[in-house]
Chains A and B, each alone.
Chain A
Amino acid sequence: MCTLPTSFTPYFLIAQRLGIALITLVIVSFAVFFATELLPGDVAQILLGQAATPEAVAGLREAMGLNEPAIYRFLSWLAGLASGDLGISYVNNMPVTQLIGGRLISSLKLAGVTTLFTVPIALSLGIGAAMARGSLFDRVVSVLTISVISVPEFMVATLAVVIFAVWLGWLPALSYGVEVDSWSAMLRGYAMPVITLSFVVSAQMIRMTRAAVIETINTPYVEMALLKGASRSRMVLKHALPNALGPIANAVALSLSYLVGGVIIVETIFNYPGIAKLMVDAVSTRDLPLIQSCAVIFCVSYLSLITFADVIAILSNPRLRHR
């Protein structure tokens, strides 16, 4: 590394990160494949359900091309992926891209709206609490975040539906299947899922942000800034915050990565057709191309968020930036 020109160092680190991400992706995809192979029954048996007589299963397997060794099918799927082809679903013979397409967009939309709503609120609450450490505000925020973490999301979601949809009748109980023909209809449709998800993801972000900022506030150079006569807000925003950016970005990325694949409960309760439910369907029907594709998408979204956070941490670290 010493032989590299110093200005390349952060870029080298970033390239290294991206390389690791790619290797992780291939390993995860193998792991998912082996896990799927361990599940009892195959797609032909599941499709025939109770009607699965040995002859019927054998006939269907033959027709679906399932008699080839599983590892061969996996490798040919992987080769297809390299050329951008996700394969054909075993279960309904539709291209996987077509099955995933609309639902991935739905999921990303929900994740995007939730991010836009949550991140600013969570960061300002976290930084605010750190700045006013020990004050009433800080304690209220801490107690609230702890209680929000402790309540499971199915309960938040169900309570929200009972109160706002059934009792008050303000919002629709379903987020999908309601006509989205205007802005207000869209807002009404998204309100409850977004609030439920915000409860889950923001608590983590608030606590991590607060802890990271407080840690940097305790360092000698921030104390120096204070002695120099900087105002409290300048001290935190100008001196402490840039150095806390790395851990904060990581906390935000970890929380947000949950929004793509982990929202099955919200998707179920609000009948929102996202990709998490698709993955569950795929596993229960042993639909290998679909399982693999969903897994790759989750993995890519997770890795890109984490890598993005790492890049921010590298770039925001003056020691790495100016070495």
Chain B
Amino acid sequence: MTNKRPTNWTDLDNAMVEHAIRRGASRRELLKMMMASGVGIAAGSSLLASAGRAVAATPVSGGHLKAAGWSSSTADTLDPAKASLSTDYVRCCAFYNRLTFLNETGAVEMELADSISTDDAKTWEIKLKKGVQFHDGHTLNADDVVYSLNRHLDEAVGSKVNSIAKQMTEIAKVDDTTVKIVLATANADLPTILALHHFMIIADGTTDFTKANGTGAFICETFEPGVKSIAVKNPNYFKSEGPYLDSFEFFAITDNNARINALLSGDIHLAAAVNPRSLRMLEGHDSVRTSVSTSGNYTDLNIRLDLDPGSKAGFVEGMKYLIDRETIQKSVMRGFAEIANDQPISSASRYHNPNLKPREYDPERAKSLFEKAGVLGQSIPVIASEAAGSSVDMATIVQQAGAQIGMNLDVQRMPSDGYWSNYWLKSPIHFGNINPRPTPDILFSLLYASDAPWNESQYKSEKFDKMMVEARGALDEAKRTEIYWEMQEMIANDAGTVIPVYISNVDAVTTKLQGLKSNPLGGMMGYVFAEHVWLEA
């Protein structure tokens, strides 16, 4: 195949086209997109072919995959309840399975569960698949599921999803392959909640997590926290497809450049979450490509509505007009982000409200709003930190925009260490960072309900709380969507959280690595890549 690349064509553009293909863009749309950016038909076709190759191919078995995440420490764990970093999620996904999982479109599919049914969204019956074996030979039954779910309710375990699990008031075994779950209030999202990485199923009675005994596609051979783990293929895996790899080694290289260099030199096959700013390093290397996934991760500017100056009418709205979303998307994120409209449900979710347009950058309008609020000329502190990714860059952009209209924003950069406990949620104006969550309900109850533990702007609305409970119990999709759309509008207009962009995750991989798709639960295919990818010879 001839490879007529336009001279200014970069891997970044490649990633964009691949991303578009995955999102279902037609060939015609793609060519139109390229024509618009000045790429001719002949070159365009060749580029499409090369991007298309990366999307569709037949799996090959065998090989040893080496992948590097970005953070790892002695806190690394094989206990799914305590999993807190991408590194833990990747390992848990390789060694264990969940009752359900989310596919690349965000729809729920069954994994260890055979079916999940309910009549009122309150009492649920879960039928388990039969004949699924743990690595030690034990056969999966209802006791394992009851034990795994009950652990999250025990405070001594230190589960990360304790607050979500609390709604399960009864978790009981009906027979060997049936489990009954009763919820405190109706929640139609239970199948999606069970797809969270923390709800992996472990064997009944497990307390030792120095090795993993799960039902997963890989068996844990070595696990050294803060160093590495080595996994070998599970020959008795219950799924008909996968895993294709013989073995899989996972560790972390914390330094972004070192991670990219290791990939370029061929020492690893996958470098997770590379900084978009360093993608130019990958140019000119044909053996490397990027995989982009847009999920709901975002860094937001939080203005507390119960403290000065956020309590002054017009201030929050002014800030929403003062933030230059396009500059943030283009220069801070190097294009690897989607412009957001001040509410937490991204376009990766099927409940995203597309009618809600992002506010334009309008400093004049912001100025008149600030004048009304009587804050022009005051020095207003804005707290940023590297702990909330890219927040320092974003703060600088807002600061400069403010300076042009006589608004004096005093950006204070705080150390990452201790940021979450000392500044986040506490300072009048500060930045936060929210990881993607699979359902609007989790995001709303975590971030915007009146009693939400992480109510970043202290937004309180009885109407919102009522709608949240109503949508939660609604089994009718159309009605739910309608409620969620309205709730997104309420957040965008009334809450004090300025959400400029949804940040994409960029993984860099060798072209030999095939089968990687993007997933709304996060990078590295929602952390499950190991069982789906294969290495081409």
Contacts and interface: CB of A to CB of B under 8 A. Distances in A.
Nearest to B64: A179
Interface residues of A, number: 52
Contacts of A62: 155-156
A173 B262 CA distance: 5
Given A47-B75, A174-B253, A53 B453 contact: yes
Contacts of B9: none
B422 interface: yes
B184 interface: no
Interface in A157-180: 158, 161-162, 165-166, 169, 172-174, 176-178
Contact of B74 (A58, A161, A169, A278): A278
A19 interface: no
B438 to A, nearest CB: 16
A90 to B, nearest CB: 10
A215 to B, nearest CB: 42
B422 A269 contact: no
Contacts of B424: 50
A56 B420 CA distance: 16
A interface secondary structure, majority: helix
A59 B253 CA distance: 33
Interface string B374-404: 0000000000000000000000000000000
A84 interface: no
B254 A102 contact: no
Interface string B414-428: 000110111010000
Interface string B127-170: 00000000000000000000000000001111011110000000
Nearest to B425: A50
Contacts of A102: 224, 227
Interface string B108-137: 000000000000000000000000000000
Interface stretch (A7-15, A36-44, A249-257): A36-44
B22 interface: no
B74 A56 contact: no
B76 interface: yes
Interface stretch (A26-34, A91-99, A137-145, A312-320): A91-99
Contacts of B156: 59-60, 62-63
Nearest to B432: A50
A282 B226 CA distance: 11
B261 A91 contact: no
B74 A285 contact: yes
A277 B225 CA distance: 12
A297 B264 CA distance: 36
Interface string A263-279: 00000111101000110
Interface in A47-67: 47-53, 55-56, 58-60, 62-63
A89 interface: yes
B206 interface: no
B143 to A, nearest CB: 23
B417 A166 contact: no
A1 B77 CA distance: 58
Contact of B265 (A40, A56, A172): A172
B262 A174 contact: yes
A284 interface: yes
B287 to A, nearest CB: 11
A237 B210 CA distance: 57
A130 B157 CA distance: 64
Interface in B203-227: 210, 224-227
B266 A169 contact: yes
A40 B422 contact: yes
A58, A176, A177, A278: most-surrounded residue (chain B CB, <10 A): A177
Given A63-B156, A281-B75, A45 B421 contact: yes
Contacts of B493: none
A92 B265 contact: no
Nearest to B158: A60
Contacts of A310: none
Nearest to B74: A281
A137 to B, nearest CB: 36
A203 interface: no
Given A99-B225, A277-B226, A281-B75, A48 B158 contact: yes
Contacts of B66: 177
Nearest to A277: B226
Contact of A271 (B157, B163, B251, B418): B251
A89 B74 contact: yes
A174 B77 CA distance: 23
B255 interface: yes
Interface in B224-262: 224-228, 249, 251, 253-255, 257-258, 261-262
Nearest to B225: A92
Contact of A40 (B227, B249, B268, B417): B417
A282 B74 contact: yes
Contacts of A51: 84, 160-163
Given A59-B158, A271-B258, A273-B226, A92 B77 contact: yes
A5 to B, nearest CB: 52
B251 A92 contact: no
Interface of A: 39-41, 44-53, 55-56, 58-60, 62-63, 89, 91-92, 94, 99, 102-103, 158, 161-162, 165-166, 169, 172-174, 176-178, 268-271, 273, 277-278, 281-282, 284-285, 287, 290
Given A46-B75, A48-B160, A177-B66, 11 more contacts: A55-B155, A56-B155, A94-B225, A161-B261, A165-B267, A173-B262, A174-B262, A177-B267, A270-B258, A271-B258, A281-B75
9 contacts: A40-B417, A41-B421, A102-B224, A162-B261, A165-B264, A172-B265, A174-B267, A268-B255, A290-B74
Q: Which 9 A-B pairs have the closest CB atoms?
A: A59-B155, A63-B156, A165-B265, A40-B418, A281-B73, A173-B265, A173-B262, A60-B158, A273-B227
